[in-house]
């Protein structure tokens, strides 16, 4: 594990806001985002996964914690036209991958103060969300293939660090079982998900800087 540098910062909303995106054409960023949201969820404090990428609107699962269902109800009040679903231990929110989606993020963050918000977004929206003073992320996770995109990844990491974010680079996709289970808001026991130290630093559970793994 190689240290990349820079301390995290507190969001203007008073909570942890993590950006998750890919570098180049690398796949697996959404599975990493869901896994991180699962890791951030607690029985009485579900994390919110905000998905700004293309894809289907999520549906609520039959198995969800009471806290996740309550968060879903609150979000429906704030964004009645958005796709909201409680799944397992977390809540998922689907917004459009354009500037209106950023407006939705800014509108909903005050409603989840005290919980972790994980925002999955396409690379083309990264600069816009970083420049949006209403959102102020605290950390970022990049899914990257360093064999193909090492230079581009290094540039992205340096920019994020200069902005005061904790940064981690996930070199390999999470395991298949973990990826499938996380879609239902749960994580299986054992290995296969995000490395525990990486998740802890991104979620501000550990001091120090985030890492490359």
**Interior/surface letters 173-189, b for 16+ CB within 10 angstroms, e for the rest:** bbbeebbebbbbbbbee
Vertex 169 angle, CA 127 and 155, to 5°: 45
- Region 145-164: mean pLDDT is 96
pLDDT beyond 90 at 128? yes
* Mean of per-residue pLDDT scores for the chain: 82
Q: CA 46 to CA 175: how far, in whole Å?
A: 23
Q: For residue 212, what pLDDT is reported?
A: 52
* CA 150/CA 162 separation, integer angstroms: 18
Going by their DSSP bridges, the two strands 48-51 and 90-94 should be labelled as parallel
Mean pLDDT (whole number) for 47-56:
83
Domain containing 87 — which CATH number? 3.40.50
Check residue 39 and give its pLDDT.
Answer: 87
Q: Using the 8-state DSSP alphabet, how is residue 54 labeled? A: S
159-202 pLDDT per residue, tens = 999 999 999 999 998 887 766 666 666 665 544 578 888 998 89
Higher-pLDDT residue of 152, 177: 152
More confident residue, 55 or 207: 55
Q: Which band of pLDDT confidence, cut at 50, 70 and 90, is reported for residue 56?
A: low
Structural domains of the chain, count: 1
Comparing 153 with 76, the larger pLDDT belongs to 153
**Structural domain boundaries enclosing 149:** 2-212
Band of residue 79 on the pLDDT scale cut at 50, 70, 90? confident
């Amino acid at each position: 594990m190689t240290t990349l540098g820079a301390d995290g910062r507190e969001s203007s909303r008073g909570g942890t806001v993590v950006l998750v995106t890919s570098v180049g054409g690398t796949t697996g960023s959404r599975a990493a985002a869901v896994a991180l949201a699962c890791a951030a969820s607690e029985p009485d404090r579900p994390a919110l996964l905000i998905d700004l990428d293309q894809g289907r609107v999520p549906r609520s699962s039959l198995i969800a914690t009471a806290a996740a269902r309550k968060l879903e109800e609150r979000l429906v009040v704030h964004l009645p036209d958005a796709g909201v679903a409680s799944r397992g231990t977390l809540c998922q929110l689907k917004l459009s991958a354009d500037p209106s989606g950023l407006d939705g993020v800014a509108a909903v963050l005050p409603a989840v103060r005290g919980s972790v918000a994980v925002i999955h977004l396409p690379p083309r929206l990264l600069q816009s969300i970083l420049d949006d003073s209403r959102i102020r992320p605290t950390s970022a996770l990049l899914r990257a293939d360093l064999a193909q995109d090492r230079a581009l990844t290094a540039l992205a990491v340096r920019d994020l660090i200069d902005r005061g974010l904790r940064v981690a680079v996930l070199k390999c996709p999470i395991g298949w079982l973990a990826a499938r289970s996380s879609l239902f808001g749960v994580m299986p026991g054992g290995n296969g998900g995000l490395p525990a130290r990486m998740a802890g630093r991104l979620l501000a559970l550990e001091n120090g800087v985030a890492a490359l793994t």
